[in-house]
Amino acid sequence: MKTLADLLLLGDPRLYETCAPVLEAELPLVAGWVADLHAVMEDIRATYSFGRGIAAPQLGIMKRLVYLNVDRPLVLINPELVEMSAATFELWDDCMSFPNLLVRVRRHQQVTVRYRDANWQPQTWQVEDASLAELLQHECDHLDGVLCTMRALDPQAFRWRPTPSGA
């Protein structure tokens, strides 16, 4: 089982690689990968008090696989953003691979994503919630070797995450 120590950190060259698609023949491996993603996300939540999604390459699994856990666990195999709204918004983005750094980026308010579920069934999800749309864009970027640091609005678009009082 992977742990927080297995999380790739900013600067690791694997974070900048494009991931290979998950093949149907690899479906038996997905449950183990998802268990690792879930375990590390729980470690991040316990340590840094954030974390709604994680992409497989953040653990060195160079496959197009995303695990979300916002209100329930969701596995997205080979996700593809097929539509993005013209409307955008700015936010301070965070990332498990650099947990104390926030980056100001611009994201689309709505997206449509196509993916396969854990049973290899094709799915289409139209995401109208800007917070979830942003999360999907962030995680899908990881699959293409793109970090939010590369989407920074300008050279001043970085700041340290405020520490909780008493920490």
Q: How many CB atoms lie within 10 A of CB 116?
A: 21
Catalytic residue among 42, 80, 90, 139: 139
134 is catalytic: no
Greatest CA span in the chain, whole angstroms?
50
CA distance 167 to 116: 41
CA 131: distance to chain centroid? 13
Residue 161: which residues within 8 A CB-CB, separation 6 or more?
48, 94, 99, 100, 101, 102
Measuring CA to CA, which residue among 79, 70, 65 is closest to residue 36? Answer: 65
Active site amino acids: 139
